[in-house]
Amino acid sequence: MPNPNAKFSKARRSQRRAQYYNRLEKNAPELTSCSNCGATHQMHRACPSCGQYRGRQIVAVKTDA
């Protein structure tokens, strides 16, 4: 059976796993602030707090909660 011919040190193992977390950060959705209400929302998506995207009302937002 094929086997690794050397044990990877803890440093090597940590470096490999650290790349995974760097990738998570890179693939995190880009956030921007809404031009209408100023809330933080995902880029190229309607604002969750006011429901507007590029100045137009896209999603109906419940005002009473």
**Residues forming the site for Zn ion (CB under 5 A):** 34, 36-37, 39, 47, 49-50
Give least dist CB 57 to Zn ion, A.
10
Number of alpha helices (DSSP H) and beta strands (DSSP E) in the chain: 1, 4
Q: How far apart are CA 61 and CA 53, in angstroms?
A: 13
Indicate the residue among 37 and 59 with the shorter CB distance to Zn ion.
Answer: 37
Indicate the residue among 15 and 57 with the shorter CB distance to Zn ion.
Answer: 57
> Sign of torsion, CA 17 21 24 25?
negative
Give least dist CB 36 to Zn ion, A.
4
The structure tokens listed for 60 are 């109906």
Indicate the residue among 45 and 49 with the shorter CB distance to Zn ion.
Answer: 49
